Amino acid sequence: MVRRATVAILALASSAIVGGPPMVASAATAPVVVPASAAGPPAAIAWRSGRTVSVGAADGGARRPVARLASDRSTQLSLSADGRRLALAAGDRVWVVDLVSGTPARDLRLAVRFATALQWSPDGQRIAVVDERAVRVCEVGPSPTCARWARGPATEMGASWSPDGRRLAYVRKSATRAERRRGWGALVVGDGAAAQVVERFGEGDRSLTMPMPPIFGRAGLTWTSVDLRMRFGEMDGLARVRTRRLEAGGVRTLSTARPRSSYSVVVGEQADGSLLLLRQRLHATTTGYRIDRLDPTGAATSLGIAIGTFGGQEDVRVLGALTDGRVAISVRRSSRSRTTRLHLATPGRGLGGRVAGGDEVAVAAALPGNAGGL
């Protein structure tokens, strides 16, 4: 059980991507080719199957291909909240496809190294790109420009925009002498010009505190931190799980648990301001997942979305919430599976059927998550 808990907490996924020269819309050898049929209405979902990237409506209909890649190796996909733009990381470059006009993909001319997150600003005019080197923010107009907002991010933690699109929350690796002594890093909020350290994480004599991906919501910045017990330099199980929020008056703890076989991580926000929790129950050889709701008082209740029980090498993520209350969830059943299934789950009705499946999936979520899986 201890080993399963440790593996589950540490198994945050990152993705490798493919390379290529600048975009030439009609060249068969270009890394990203946009077909003439790409123009159409805004998209609700996107997925990649092999070399083909497609989009469609929330019910899985109105499907159309919008890009063809030179390689079928891993990419990163991200839809803007309004569904008008699709970003994809292909190789050491990031591209933006206008799904309404179907014009040639725009190369952001940003050299990346293993991009792990593409996060659109709420207005869909900028995108944050997280890779091994930095967090960079790009204006995606006709002449894209990019600026570095931070160095040395903890790439598996992604990034999350404030609702007004002015600030980003991210986790950085150890940057100061004090952080290097503790051995981890810090949760930071920045605007490209200045940064505020919200909480530091690291290792003590008998414990290791680790952050989970932060979520910026209308009520403030919320995150879950996990305290692991340490014994002779090795992890020896879960000691404490806390969900906290940065508010105008400071940091407030919303919930604290000392779990034995289950724990919950904040992964998103609902339209009513309540938080989405991904709850995991650890069994001897399997892990069960469900979605809970955390209200402003700190009380957690089930949303009636049971995701399933898996054998330990699964990848379950909450991609965000739609304005109608549905929750976007991606599930890859094992490390051997090439198919990630996208579900739009209605509270009280379970996970429901898949609306799309492929090597990668994305959703246009009005209330996006932040890579929120373990």
Dump pLDDT digits (tens) for 75-128.
889 999 999 999 998 878 899 999 999 888 888 988 777 778 899 999 999 999
The DSSP H or E segment spanning 146 is: strand 145-151
Contact between residue 196 and residue 216 where contact means Cβ atoms under 8 Å apart: no
Which pLDDT value is given to residue 26? 36
Highest mean pLDDT among 2-16, 138-152, 198-212, 354-368: 354-368
Question: What's the CA gap between 330 and 319, in Å, rounded?
Answer: 7
Query: What does each C-alpha distance from 227 to 43, 164, 209, 278, 324 come to in angstroms?
Result: 40, 32, 4, 17, 35
The DSSP H or E segment spanning 6 is: helix 2-10
Residue whose entry in the numeric block shows the structure tokens 């979305």: 305
Please determine, for residue 5, whether its predicted confidence score (pLDDT) is greater than 70.
Answer: no
The CATH number for 151's domain is: 2.130.10.10
208-242 burial: b if 16+ Cβ within 10 Å, else e? bbbbbbbbbbebbbbbbbbbbbbeeeebeebbbbe
Which pLDDT value is given to residue 146? 92
Contact between residue 225 and residue 244 where contact means Cβ atoms under 8 Å apart: yes
How do residues 11-31 score in pLDDT, each as one tens digit?
432 222 222 223 333 334 467
Q: What band does 8 get if pLDDT is binned at 50, 70 and 90?
A: very low
Which pLDDT value is given to residue 1? 39
Which pLDDT value is given to residue 14? 29
How do residues 227-279 score in pLDDT, each as one tens digit?
888 877 677 778 899 999 998 889 999 999 888 788 899 999 998 889 999 99
Query: What does each C-alpha distance from 175 to 133, 182, 187 come to in angstroms?
Result: 13, 11, 11
Q: What band does 181 get if pLDDT is binned at 50, 70 and 90?
A: low
Q: How many domains does the chain have?
A: 1
Contact between residue 86 and residue 79 where contact means Cβ atoms under 8 Å apart: yes
The DSSP H or E segment spanning 340 is: strand 340-345
Q: What band does 180 get if pLDDT is binned at 50, 70 and 90?
A: low
As given in the structure block, the two tokens for residue 368 are: 């996006």
- Beta-strand pair 117-120/106-107: unpaired
Query: What percent of the chain clears pLDDT 70, i.e. is strictly above it?
Result: 87
Angle at 330 between CA 328 and CA 335, to 5 degrees: 170
State CA 118 to chain mean position distance: 8
Mean of the pLDDT values across residues 64-85? 89
The chain-wide mean pLDDT, for the chain, equals 84
Q: Structural domain of residue 65, as residue ranges?
A: 2-373
How do residues 133-171 score in pLDDT, each as one tens digit?
889 999 998 888 999 998 888 777 889 999 999 999 999
Which pLDDT value is given to residue 174? 67
Mean of the pLDDT values across residues 37-61? 92
Which pLDDT value is given to residue 84? 96
Query: What percent of the chain clears pLDDT 90, i.e. is strictly above it?
Result: 50
Please determine, for residue 6, whether its predicted confidence score (pLDDT) is greater than 60.
Answer: no
Q: What band does 179 get if pLDDT is binned at 50, 70 and 90?
A: low
Please determine, for residue 217, whether its predicted confidence score (pLDDT) is greater than 50.
Answer: yes
Q: What band does 337 get if pLDDT is binned at 50, 70 and 90?
A: confident
Which pLDDT value is given to residue 87? 95
Query: What does each C-alpha distance from 124 to 21, 93, 95, 120, 127 come to in angstroms?
Result: 26, 19, 14, 6, 7
